[in-house]
Amino acid sequence: MNILILGYGKMGKIISEIAESRGHSIAAKINIDNRNELDQLNPAEIDVAIEFSQPEAAVDNIKWAISKGIPIVSGTTGWLAQKPELDKMTLAHDGAFFYASNYSIGVNIFFKVNQFLAKLMAEQNDYKVSMEEVHHTEKKDAPSGTAITLAEGILEQITQLKTWKLSEEVSASEQVLPITAKRIDPAPGTHIIRYQSAIDDIEISHTAHSRQGFALGAVLVAEWIKDKKGVLSMDDFLSF
């Protein structure tokens, strides 16, 4: 395949290396310094775009790919208020748009474990649930997209919780899932869910050791999406 890389930071570089190691070609590597080169590309020569940029650039990058009929795989977080608009645009163009907050296979299994545990804990009112996430200092959004996905999984099951908030914004009386977001180098990503009571605690966690798992997952999805249509997710890819 001929892959366009949108966002050539640390993740983009690893994705490019993995894609080439799997026999793919890189059509172009676009970042903020050379974004003007996008309109010089021939969309017919691009099989798929992989987008890992910044929140302020992601929406325009995705719109560009959809408008050109290029299937796009995005992992940028921090812009999701605009996703419904992009979903509609994808369907209107009969395109293919794949979004995931995290492309690690292990994390996506962790999402399912988190939902299952939340279902078990939904009626256990003596336990208070909280979350902690730790990432490197270059990560701009907080909480992480992965933490938000985990939070949404908990809120689906524990209906007495109304929303999630960063822990410093939570008052004692609120029915809120508190999330503590820490930025410590060189952590690529740790997420911890805790259910605490006076008697005992229950805790599940996922710790990434490098960005390799995220990057490989994105490339595997890019290989899979090439001939697909619609708004797609990791549930479609993994057939959960």
69 & 34 share domain: yes
- Annotation says 162 is catalytic: no
Q: Quick one: 155 and 201 in the same domain?
A: yes
Clarify whether residues 203 and 216 are in a common domain.
no
Does residue 123 sit in the same domain as residue 57?
A: no
- Phi–psi pair at 207, nearest 5 degrees: -125, 120
pLDDT at position 188: 84
> Can you give the residue range of the structural domain that contains 169?
105-207
pLDDT tens digits for the chain (240 residues)? 999 999 999 899 999 999 999 999 999 999 989 999 998 999 999 999 999 999 999 999 999 999 999 999 999 988 999 999 999 999 999 999 999 988 998 999 999 999 999 999 999 999 999 999 999 888 878 899 899 999 999 999 999 999 999 998 887 777 999 999 999 998 888 999 999 999 999 999 999 998 898 999 999 999 999 889 999 999 999 885
Q: Do 41 and 6 share a structural domain?
A: yes
Q: Which of 139, 182, 228, 229 is catalytic?
A: 139
Q: Taking the model in full, what pTM does it have?
A: 0.82
Question: Per the structure, how many domains does the chain have?
Answer: 2
Q: Which domain CATH number covers 84?
A: 3.40.50.720
Select which of 13, 93, 112, 135 is catalytic: 135
229 carries an active-site annotation:
no
223 and 153 within one domain: no
Beta strands in the chain (DSSP E): 2-6, 25-30, 48-51, 72-74, 96-99, 128-135, 163-166, 176-183, 190-196, 201-207, 230-232
Say whether both 117 and 80 belong to one domain: no
Same domain, 13 and 69: yes
Q: Residues 17, 60: one domain?
A: yes
Question: What CATH number is attached to the domain comprising 183?
Answer: 3.30.360.10
Q: What is residue 240's predicted lDDT score, i.e. its pLDDT? A: 57
